[in-house]
Amino acid sequence: MRPFKVESLTQEEQKLIEENYGLIKHFLYQKNQKHLIPKDMYDMCYDYLIDGFLKAVKTYDASRAKFSTWAYKIMTSKFAQCHSKYARQPKITHLANAITEIGRAHV
């Protein structure tokens, strides 16, 4: 993933982040309710969603949509990228991550 470049943030952009940061966790919560995110994919998707959220902050135009609508549109695209990358990983990686998780649970 090539991260979205964030230069210095304006006060308006900082305020958008402070007021809407919970959208990322809410987005992940909704996807988890639909069982779309395996545990080993969660962290990878979180990184993609942060990138999408920051892109939404930098490209937001209040005259076009509510911020939450704009951010969800971009985060949905980033989630699809993450899901696609996850699906292309060798399955042995998924198995190794599952074994690691099981080992942590028993310690």
pLDDT tens figures, 16-34? 999 999 999 999 888 887 7
Going 92 to 43 to 39 to 45, the CA torsion angle's sign is negative
Token output for 61: 């135009």
Per the structure block, which two tokens stand in for 34? 């639909």
Contacts of 21 (CB under 8 A, 6+ apart): 53
CA distance 107 to 93: 21
Cβ pair 1, 49 in contact under 8 A: no
pTM summary value: 0.73
What is the average pLDDT across 80-93? 76
